[in-house]
Amino acid sequence: MTTGAGVDAMPLAGTCDSGFARVAEAFAENFAVRDEIGAAVAVYVDGEIAVDLWGGRVVRDQKPAEPWGRDTIVRMMSINKAVTAICAHRLADHGLLDYERRVADYWPEFAQAGKESITVRTLMAGRAGLVFPDAVPDGAAFDWPAMVDGLARQAPIWAPGTRGAYHSSTYGHLVGELVRRLTGKLPGAYFREEIGEPLGLDYWFALPRAEQHRLSEILPNPDSATYAALSGGGAGNNLARAWRILPGANPLMRDHPDYLGKEMPSAFGRGTARAMAKLFAALARGGDIDGVRVLSPQAIDAMTTLQWDAPCALTGRRFRYCLGVYKNTPGLRPMGRNPDAFGHMGVGGSFVFADPERRLSFSYCTNFMCAGDGIGERCTALVEAVDASGR
């Protein structure tokens, strides 16, 4: 099949089971009428891939360039938070991490500035009040020691456990440092060894030099609510304050070679829709796929138990938040017809979710940020097309 005029009638490639033909149609429509530039979408059903489509063009030097290929990878923004959380849940599954113990039991330096009693559960539920890394030096987002030292010294912005908030720029290091303390490895290395390599997942916290030629840049969208907030700066701007730690003037940080090989687990994981759909396919069917156990059913239950359903204290948007993933939230994070579906989005529209009721997973990634503050019209059209399949 081919697109319309959106990207010079670039051909779309891949496979799509006949039962999901509407997804292929919606994917082509995204290029023809919804300004898609380059993207991929994948759907697994009961552990088998049913949709694996890609198309358009990669972005180089902030302009559309060569065709998006099967193995093109792109930054999937905050989806990396969910992957980091999965690593921590795997450690809990193995009896190494206890949700009810104090964070300071694993990370002694954390017991400063009123954080002595914060539990792992409170931290992973986004209820620790550590949304602003004010004690971290400017531009230090990719400096792991500076990040965790600053977060250890950081005082909560409100009494821990009293409010829930999206820890936009800090979640990855807060949870990732627990992984490092327990394993001696950064979360990206732990993920590659324990999950990524056994499952053959093309997803990276830190991108090796040998893989960097496959990477597409992200093209910012001025109509993105997050991009606008980060670009605006100013004293009352919560997101700008949270992301002050990024180096350089670009508020969403182009993929500079100096940082590609460093971990920033709140937002800088890179990979394919196929990889994330496969990871969440395991979670959609009890925790295993291809003979590899990612999590036990009990660990999945722990991860997906609702912790708060309220306006987020950082963004003001309503979230249904669990321990590192969101439950289906109509409007901002629509995951189909099952209210117990769970997943995570990345600013600009990248998305992954699992629906255990249908034993189905979905992932989408794009190199052109969507407008607004949710998953955007392109991703929404694909999710609606999955629902229209009747599966």
Is the CB of residue 83 less than 8 Å from the CB of residue 188? Answer: no
Is the CB of residue 77 less than 8 Å from the CB of residue 344? Answer: no
Give the active site residue among 78, 168, 224, 389.
78
Is the CB of residue 24 less than 8 Å from the CB of residue 1? Answer: yes
| CA separation for the pair 366, 217 (Å, rounded) | 10
Dihedral class, residue 126 (left if φ above 0, else alpha if ψ from -120 to 50, else beta): left
Q: The tokens of 355 are what?
A: 């629906």
- Mapped onto helix, strand or coil, the DSSP state of residue 152 is helix
Angle between helices 273-284 and 79-93 (to 10 degrees): 40
- Cβ neighbourhood burial of 126 (10 Å; 0-12, 13-18, 19+): buried
| CA separation for the pair 2, 363 (Å, rounded) | 21
Residue 69 one-letter amino acid: G
Q: Is 363 a catalytic residue?
A: no
| CA separation for the pair 79, 102 (Å, rounded) | 26
Rg (CA), the chain: 19
- Mapped onto helix, strand or coil, the DSSP state of residue 209 is helix
Q: Where are the alpha helices (DSSP H) in the chain?
A: 21-33, 79-93, 103-106, 120-124, 144-153, 171-183, 187-191, 197-199, 225-232, 238-242, 257-260, 273-284, 297-303, 376-388
Is the CB of residue 270 less than 8 Å from the CB of residue 75? Answer: yes
Nearest residue to 30 via CA among 58, 7, 1: 7
| Residues that are catalytic | 78
